[in-house]
Amino acid sequence: MIRRIGSGPRLSAATVHGGLVYLSGQVPDDLSVDVVDQTRQVLAKIDAILAEAGTDKSRILSVMVWLPAIGDFGAFNTVWDAWVAPGAAPARACVESRLADPAIKVEVGCVAALPAD
């Protein structure tokens, strides 16, 4: 069975299948703030989507981070390091990439495992 979370005409916030949760790239809602606050918003969205799927950040397997300015890597990591579950750092890649809206300073997508029944 496939379950979709936050499904719209173009994409779903997440798709659940085969014991895994696939999150689409999450972006902040308030684009007027700096990369630190945008990162906090994105990670909070990820927490909420994972909770709705029945899992949490300690079960994230892999993460993809897109930053339009790689100079924001350090600022992103200060928020990331405080958020990531201790002892459960996932595999992660971070690339510099132009994003859909120039005001978006960070986008994060991930794949997480569901708890075993």
Report the DSSP beta bridge partners of residue 64: 93, 109
3 CB neighbour count, 10 Å cutoff? 13
pLDDT tens track for 57-78: 999 999 999 999 999 999 999 9
Kindly report the pTM of this predicted structure.
0.97
Give the burial class of 95: count Cβ atoms within 10 A of its Cβ; 0-12 exposed, 13-18 middle, 19 or more buried.
exposed
Planar angle of CA 15, 43, 53, nearest 5 degrees: 30
State the pLDDT at residue 27: 98
Whether 86 shows a pLDDT value over 90: the answer reads yes
Q: What is the mean pLDDT of the chain?
A: 97
The token pair at 62 is 């892999």
